[in-house]
Structure 1
Amino acid sequence: MSYDRRGGYRRRYRDDYDDRRREPFETPEDKLKTAIIKLGEVDAIEELPRLQKQIQDHVPVNIAIVSEAFRIGVTEQPYKIPYYAALIRLLHEHPADSMGHAASPLGRLILEDFWKGFQAYLDKLAWREARLCIHFFAHLTVAQLISPESMVALLQAFTAVLDEFGVSHGRAKRAALCAAEGLMISGPGLRTLSPTNVTDIVSAIQAFNDTTGSAKWLVQPTVKVFSDEVMIDNGDEVQSEFLLFFSLLTPALQLLDTALFALKTLVDSDFKQTADSFPQPYANIPALDNELSQFVLPSVLVPPEIIELDALSNDADADDTAQVKKEEWPEYFLRLFDNDVSPDPNTPAGYAVRTALLDIISIFEVNRKECARLLLEYPKWNHPGSFKPKPGAPVPPEGENSPVPGKDWQLESTIIETILGAFLILPESSHKSVYYISLITELCKLSPSTVGPAVGKSIRKLYGALSEGLDVEAARRFAEWFAVHMSNFGFQWVWKEWVPDLALTVQHPRRTFMRRAIEFEIRLSYHDRILKTLPEPMQGPDAHTVPEQAPGPDYEYDDPANPHHDAAQSVLNLFRGRAKADDVIAHLDTLKTTLETTDDTEGNVDATVRSIAVQSLLNIGSRSFSHLLNAIERYLPLLRSLTSSGNTVESKAGILSTAAAFWRHNRQMVGIVFDKLMQYQIVDPTDVIAWTFANRAGGLDAFEWDLMRGALDKANGRVVIARRRVTALRKEDDDTRARAKAQAGAEEGGSAMEVDADANTKPEEVTDSPALATAIKAFTSLTREQRGALSRTLEGFVDCLGPNASDASANPNPHARTVVTESAWHNRANWDSDDWSAWETWGWYRQFCRAYSPYLRNYSNTLYTVSFARLDGSTDPATELLKKTWNVATGQDVS
């Protein structure tokens, strides 16, 4: 370094000193807080006495800091809750006054401050944090630190939510889980009280769960469709269901059902199984001194949920007070493995394991690498012997940490099953699909030798379930996960295992899965590379598994033999030269005149010119995504002129058909182009939906559903944005008027405050600002568009699946009707492609109803009248199934 005569060395050293001085300084309180949060990094049991002494020796006592550390630990590291309860129990006998004077126990003071945090969670309706705090209180009840009476009262406050008038399913479900899980853990501390209290809590949860039968019917992940009433065996109980029968090699389990099964098992055993299900590190701590009173939890009232009324809707059928969010459906988790491989959630121990893993997955969504590490380390927080030791791990002496009877599960299989169960929840998972997929990838990287086989077994289980009625939406996500996972590990899979399935009909779910998975893989790599990974029987065109050509554009007019080759080249040259849109429009008009006099395609000249223009424009934009956007944005006037000429509906459908034909070898680009055409309002979502139904080949497949889903999401998203804008502008207008009134009152020098001033003032007419009036007009238009998109989708499904004649009792759709009969399902091995295609269409109809139920409920009367009126009086099984699905989705079926 060169020397600066003006004190260069001194300046450099001074800068280094300033940098050191800016380093964060950790206070003793910060160190104590960190120590509490990091409890158990090595061995929690051994660390408890040392951490207890560290907290006791800290002078002066900072209850707020310690309590905050406990709140962070409990709500962000729930697997440590039993050990935090043990730490509080140890601190409870230590007085807070370090001078030895009489004072409240340190544990009591921490709990008092911790309760304030719990009340804050409850006021904000932070359900997960509140539920985990209840776990903490429940452990402290068993540790004899919290009075059983107050714990029962707390649980009863949550069961009271279940009796609220019009309570939403989501609110009731969360409250029921708080009460059920709290009772599971605190049961040993409550059994000395009146057994009636425990029974009442269980009965309240059961009564609510019994009311959700219809909703369960629509979101089960495996389905056999038929119209007869059947019995479903779900564990120890048998319940009646209509129109659908669900099964899997290992049944799917609903969240509240499993909670009730586990809770009833504990109640029947007088909670003797609680200690085997939930760790109790405080069990060996001596009983409390009689002079130290237990902590009494204050009374609470669960705040009501906030209902946002939509006062902007002009539709008479809109009923936003009854609107249900998508996450308010019952949650079903797929079981992939037998009970000796992964724990049965119907048992207390199995329920505890799955709940703990789900909490880790949800909380650490912000850091998938940390989440993967914690999932693989989970056995250290559970009972020794619950999971099989890792290969090569030292074998403990006989009698020490020996497998617990009925346990000895496989950790990796349990984790993968839990992740996939959360990933495949219908109609929508709690987190983005990419999170679950990347989390499994991180697990494989951390422990490839143990996680890899578990992933392989899971893939084979799900693949086997495809022919057993796996829901089409779950199958679509499965294909997406499979392809992305293969892309992360060299696209290595034993495809030859599935070669025998090539003998199945082309539309069989297993054949369909192969095509989708390979299509997704090609999107993530290259056509030729993926082709090399497949066995020879899958590569031929007769296999109908691999696309014949690599993804790319198909410019129809590039062939010199095409009669319109020269005309297309002239248009293409204008685009290449970045000619103005008006010049291109003028050239197309000239071209149209020329074709009318020379071309033999009578009546199709407009379609020909439109096809030439759109294909040429897409050809310019085919080089990259940015080229596509630039081309569309530059020639928006041209595209609008193409849709405004002649029949508008026909013109828009023609543009969509041309775009689909141009990208027929790359279906992903079809969706992208359609989305951009809707974004720039060249076509409407209703146009895309109508085109999709008009151009389907028989039934509806996943690609066509993706096109419709994109259109529906576009229509719904625009309404949401418009509503927010109207709300913001209305608030701005109100604030402006309030300021104007206040200023006018101030200028009048107080005369406006006279008692009789209001009596002599005529009410002024309130007028909206121009911006607000424009926003309301736009919102009304977009709401109409939303309703039209939903109506067109529903009509399309009714046309596909319902009777095909005006007389609803005659001429039913043969394949749609066939797959809803019980005998046909049991004979599905003989189904042809049309039957399986109809079955898939039924699946997408179910997904449409459950995924968009919040919007369907808003217009239920109008939509039903438009779409189902012609089916009234029909007793056809397909008609009954259409109506049943609709009624459940819109909340009109309460059976």
Structure 2
Amino acid sequence: MSYNGGGGYRRRNRDHDYDRREPVYESPEQKLRASIIRLGEVDGDQELPRLVEQICETTPINISYLSESVRIAVTEQPYKIPYYAALTRLLHDKPSSGEDTTATSLGRQVLEDFWKGFQAYLDKLSWRDTRLCVHFFAHLTTAKVVSPQSMFDLLKSFTAVLDEFGVSHGRAKQAALCAVEGLIMSGAEIKAKTSANVSEITTSIQSYIESIGDNKALVQPTVKLYPTNDPIETADEILEAALAAVQILNSSDFAQTSDIVLQPYTVSPDFADAPFDLPSVLVPPEVIELDALSTDTGEDAQVKKEEWPDYYVRLFDNDVTPDPTTPVGYAIRAGILDLIDIFEINRKECARLLLEFPKWLPHGTFKPRPGAPPQEPVAGKDWQLESTVIETILGTLFLLPDPQHKTIYYIALITELCKLSPSTVGPAVGKSIRKLYGLLADGLDVALASRLIDWFAIHMSNFGFQWVWKEWIPDLDLSLQHPKRVFMRNAIDFEIRLSYYDRILKTLPEPMQNPDNRVVPSEAPGPDYEYDDPARPHYDAAQTVLGLLRGRAKAEDVMSHLESVKNSLETTDSDTNTDSVIRSIAVQSLLHIGSRSFSHFLNAIERYLPLLRNLASGSISTTGVSNLEARMDILTAVSDFWSHSKHMIVIVFDKLMQYQIVDPTDVVSWAFTHGVERIAGSTHPSLSSLQWDVIKSALNKANGRVVIARRKVSALRKEADEKAAMAIVSNGTSMEVDTEVKPDVPEVPEVPEPESPALTTALKAFATLTREQKAALSRTLDGFVDCLASATNPNPTAKTVISENGWHNRANWSEADWVTWGTWGWYRHFCRLYSPYLRNYATTLGTVSFAKVGNAGDPAVDTFRKIWNVTTGQDV
């Protein structure tokens, strides 16, 4: 009692002390910055004059601080850019001090300092900040503050990037978006100056878009592998949409600009001063790190991230959400994308701003929300805000090969939107799920189908797993490997992982609970210890091993006991592969004692690492050269033990690679050999989503090790260079130019300093890991060759499913057809996801693996080669 009383006393004192704290003092500059950032949150038109007066009354005015405040607001609140342009316009009517009318206006001083910040963004190639500053300049051009010719020159400097030799798509895309979006907002003034200027910008962008045609096929959300030039109705590429929007505006002399963005500065008096000429700029080149790292293979060790065109999936009709290829549709989507990107660190604030987005758009753009005052609809608009926001978020989530941010961010953002407005956002989410589910049978990319499963299951877990499953009961008549059946099966598996088996079972209609339909697992997920049944072979031997492991016996004692068990089995059953049985008993028993929790698993693995290494060496009692069969037995034992919890297979494999019990190449080999019959349910080589997860984990492990090793070598070399420089300085070596002529003295050849032992070791490790990385990539490519384009064992369905007739007859596809179709999808994803590494080793990988490929003229072989050539940048 006394303790509780004392605690309460201390809490009261603490609260009392809190109340007596001094209030936080804000300087006039801090108050001014807060006012600038909060501009427009109530009524921007009424706040602007008051803010101007507040700025003018602040003495002395710190122009640099004022300009920085505007720059921060522009780059972090882009939806307010029209108001900040209006603020800058009004400040041009105010002199910098007193009544001196000849003094430079505040607006010009702010703009001059703002330009310095813009130049800093450009020098750092901070593309988003640069593009938003271009928006600001474009609005000022429409407000007559910036001269149209200087604005055109600025936009032209970005299109010049498109003509650079070997420009990366990421750099070209960002530069093109700067030019297009600046033109959308200032095109009327630029065209009024010289109409040819607009055509010059659009022509440059059009030429670049035509040059990247081959890359587009690999990142379209819906797949048709047979040759086709048909437009993709379910998605649009961002540069094509931007170009289409600006061409529509150009055809009307940009008369629609006022219907796209707010222009509060148009009510200001005519601008009397001379327009501000933006200084000329040159977009700095990309930073290319020239690292001398190399391996004994002669391959370049540096990997540059390859970027792909951005295709955004479309889910709704144009009367529900604006068409992104129109000016207003593109502007709305671009504004939402900026919000999603900027507020990635605060999803709750992002959700709130997204639902308030119509406030920053022209009147009547979206339908009024429930409870809002009625308003007169605007012809051609009146779209649904929630559907537009959800479509844009999912379009970003479903970018290929990977979204910009982590998948969980987009999922959490949709969850926050549903919490803020469940009655309006919920229906939009439901319609989106149904639309994407329908696309599964129309060629939705397998990577996107997997991403859809993750979003669906996690979203359902946040809202009580309530879904109208009965809508999909007719799809139970489809083939077991049909994408819709695969979706239902994997989504329910994921839901069970996020909850409980019995709970999820109760949410499903009776037909889906029927074991014959194979939608729900036959039992709750968990370990499957093969030797837990006394009726099973080798039960007694396994129990003795399990007892030793539970008793925390030394690894040497366990190995000795396994040797005796092996000898006993060889005596009683000579036909049994005793080595495989012993490995299975040891691995499954070890997993069994670690199956209670993840910490139990890690403790068991770490305690018996010598045992696992001994098993992986191919010997029970002595260590020797590692052999592939032993490691395959270990991986197979893991898959047997976790056959009812397949996600655990990936987790355990990852830990075995981390502790170097198996190599990434071993895991890839297992996925394409031992994993086929057990996971894909097919005797012919093929790939399922689980196998892909296993392969992806192995490749990421190999690639990650190389990255870490490269960084270590770079750090050691930098340290060595610094020590060498310090040694030169300490020896008093002069850097001055010697003007005196010295007599000829024979030069003594310099002996290079030997590399430090740490650097030598790091270089050897780097070379080893690079070879391991290359081997894993090569084995993956070999596996896909065996699945799809092998000369010795051709897959009869590989060319059927990629033909036009085969695609149109997909309603009659067998399970083998659908599995092969999925394998084609994973091959495409492997190529685009790991394209930087594949380009790095293109020559050697292609030479070795393509020696096993069939002859040209076979549709499967030709498609296989075309995907590879597009990925590695070779001639198609």
- Shorter-chain TM-score tier: over 0.9
Aligned counterpart, 1:633: 606
Shift of 1:310: 4.0
Aligned counterpart, 2:388: 414
- CA pair 343-575 structure 1, distance change in 2 beyond 3 A: same
Whose relative contact order is higher, 1 or 2, with alpha carbons under 8 Å and at least 6 apart?
Answer: 1
Aligned counterpart, 2:62: 62
1:852 pairs with 2:834: yes
Match of 1:529 among 503, 524, 539: 503
Q: Deviations over 1:748-806 (max 9, x none)?
A: xx99x99679964430122111111000000000000000000000010011011351x
Aligned counterpart, 1:20: 21
Are the aligned partners of 2:791 and 2:854 in contact in 1 as well (CA < 8 Å)? no
Are the aligned partners of 1:653 and 1:691 in contact in 2 as well (CA < 8 Å)? yes
Instruction: Give the whole-Å Cα distance in 1 for the aligned partners of 2:448 and 2:651.
Output: 23
Instruction: Give the whole-Å Cα distance in 1 for the aligned partners of 2:663 and 2:546.
Output: 27
Shift of 1:101: 5.0
- CA pair 315-797 structure 1, distance change in 2 beyond 3 A: farther
Q: Deviations over 1:333-365 (max 9, x none)?
A: 000000010010000000000000000000000
Instruction: Give the whole-Å Cα distance in 2 for the aligned partners of 1:198 and 1:67.
Output: 30
Aligned counterpart, 1:687: 666
Match of 1:821 among 771, 781, 803: 803
- CA pair 18-522 structure 1, distance change in 2 beyond 3 A: closer
Are the aligned partners of 1:168 and 1:324 in contact in 2 as well (CA < 8 Å)? no
Match of 2:618 among 624, 645, 654: 645
1:591 pairs with 2:591: no
Match of 2:689 among 668, 679, 702: 702
Letter in 1 for 2:148: P
Aligned counterpart, 1:241: none
Shift of 1:625: 0.2
Letter in 2 for 1:615: Q
Match of 2:781 among 780, 790, 794: 794
Are the aligned partners of 1:331 and 1:425 in contact in 2 as well (CA < 8 Å)? yes
1:354 pairs with 2:341: no
Q: Deviations over 1:649-699 (max 9, x none)?
A: 000000000000000000011111000000000000000000001021332
Instruction: Give the whole-Å Cα distance in 2 for the aligned partners of 1:210 and 1:75.
Output: 31
- CA pair 623-351 structure 1, distance change in 2 beyond 3 A: same
Shift of 1:316: 5.7
Instruction: Give the whole-Å Cα distance in 2 for the aligned partners of 1:681 and 1:210.
Output: 47
Instruction: Give the whole-Å Cα distance in 1 for the aligned partners of 2:851 and 2:560.
Output: 48
Secondary structure of 2:228 counterpart:
strand
Letter in 2 for 1:173: K
Shift of 1:318: 3.4
Match of 1:666 among 641, 645, 656: 645
Aligned counterpart, 2:293: 312
Secondary structure of 2:229 counterpart:
strand
Are the aligned partners of 1:422 and 1:430 in contact in 2 as well (CA < 8 Å)? yes
Secondary structure of 1:253 counterpart:
strand
Match runs of 1:238-317 below 5 Å: 247=232, 250-289=233-272, 292-314=273-295
Shift of 1:30: 0.2
Aligned counterpart, 1:223: 223
Secondary structure of 2:797 counterpart:
helix
Structure 2 unaligned regions, length at least 5: 4-8, 620-625
Deviates more, 1:159-168 or 1:654-663: 159-168
Are the aligned partners of 1:318 and 1:857 in contact in 2 as well (CA < 8 Å)? no
- CA pair 311-746 structure 1, distance change in 2 beyond 3 A: closer
Aligned counterpart, 2:585: 612
Instruction: Give the whole-Å Cα distance in 2 for the aligned partners of 1:872 and 1:834.
Output: 21
Q: Deviations over 1:91-137 (max 9, x none)?
A: 11111112435211111010011001000000100000000000000
Aligned counterpart, 1:567: 541
Are the aligned partners of 2:396 and 2:403 in contact in 1 as well (CA < 8 Å)? yes
Aligned counterpart, 1:718: 705
- CA pair 758-770 structure 1, distance change in 2 beyond 3 A: farther
The alignment covers a number of residue pairs equal to: 851
Secondary structure of 1:333 counterpart:
strand
Are the aligned partners of 1:483 and 1:517 in contact in 2 as well (CA < 8 Å)? yes
Aligned counterpart, 2:354: 375
Instruction: Give the whole-Å Cα distance in 1 for the aligned partners of 2:824 and 2:291.
Output: 32
Are the aligned partners of 1:317 and 1:859 in contact in 2 as well (CA < 8 Å)? no
Deviates more, 1:783-792 or 1:580-589: 580-589
Are the aligned partners of 2:295 and 2:301 in contact in 1 as well (CA < 8 Å)? no
Instruction: Give the whole-Å Cα distance in 1 for the aligned partners of 2:834 and 2:18.
Output: 61
Aligned counterpart, 2:489: 515
- CA pair 768-389 structure 1, distance change in 2 beyond 3 A: same
Instruction: Give the whole-Å Cα distance in 2 for the aligned partners of 1:187 and 1:361.
Output: 27
Match runs of 1:803-842 below 5 Å: 803-805=790-792, 812-842=794-824
Aligned counterpart, 1:886: 868
Structure 1 unaligned regions, length at least 5: 3-7, 234-246, 397-401, 806-810
Shift of 1:313: 2.4
Letter in 2 for 1:468: D
Match of 2:461 among 487, 504, 514: 487
Match of 1:763 among 738, 750, 773: 750
Shift of 1:871: 2.8
Output the TM-score relative to the length of structure 1. Answer: 0.92
Are the aligned partners of 1:262 and 1:348 in contact in 2 as well (CA < 8 Å)? yes
Match of 1:395 among 374, 378, 386: 374
Aligned counterpart, 1:544: 518
Letter in 2 for 1:325: K
Secondary structure of 2:750 counterpart:
coil
- CA pair 556-755 structure 1, distance change in 2 beyond 3 A: farther
Instruction: Give the whole-Å Cα distance in 1 for the aligned partners of 2:638 and 2:110.
Output: 66
Letter in 2 for 1:338: D
Are the aligned partners of 1:45 and 1:281 in contact in 2 as well (CA < 8 Å)? yes
1:50 pairs with 2:61: no
Secondary structure of 1:875 counterpart:
coil
Deviates more, 1:586-595 or 1:365-374: 586-595
Shift of 1:839: 0.5
Aligned counterpart, 1:232: 230
Aligned counterpart, 1:874: 856
Secondary structure of 2:488 counterpart:
helix
Instruction: Give the whole-Å Cα distance in 2 for the aligned partners of 1:134 and 1:167.
Output: 21
Shift of 1:586: 1.2
Shift of 1:15: 10
Are the aligned partners of 1:134 and 1:178 in contact in 2 as well (CA < 8 Å)? yes
Aligned counterpart, 2:623: none
Are the aligned partners of 1:317 and 1:862 in contact in 2 as well (CA < 8 Å)? no
Secondary structure of 1:815 counterpart:
coil
- CA pair 210-324 structure 1, distance change in 2 beyond 3 A: farther
Shift of 1:601: 3.5
Output the TM-score relative to the length of structure 2. Answer: 0.94
Shift of 1:600: 3.9
Instruction: Give the whole-Å Cα distance in 2 for the aligned partners of 1:199 and 1:758.
Output: 67
Q: Deviations over 1:154-212 (max 9, x none)?
A: 01111111111111111111101101111111111112222122111111111111111
Shift of 1:394: 2.0
- CA pair 445-594 structure 1, distance change in 2 beyond 3 A: same
Instruction: Give the whole-Å Cα distance in 2 for the aligned partners of 1:796 and 1:64.
Output: 60
Match of 1:340 among 287, 300, 319: 319
Instruction: Give the whole-Å Cα distance in 2 for the aligned partners of 1:845 and 1:141.
Output: 49
Q: C-alpha root-mean-square deviation of aligned residues, in Å? A: 2.2
Aligned counterpart, 1:243: none
Deviates more, 1:673-682 or 1:864-873: 864-873
Identity %: 61
Aligned counterpart, 1:843: 825
- CA pair 600-559 structure 1, distance change in 2 beyond 3 A: farther
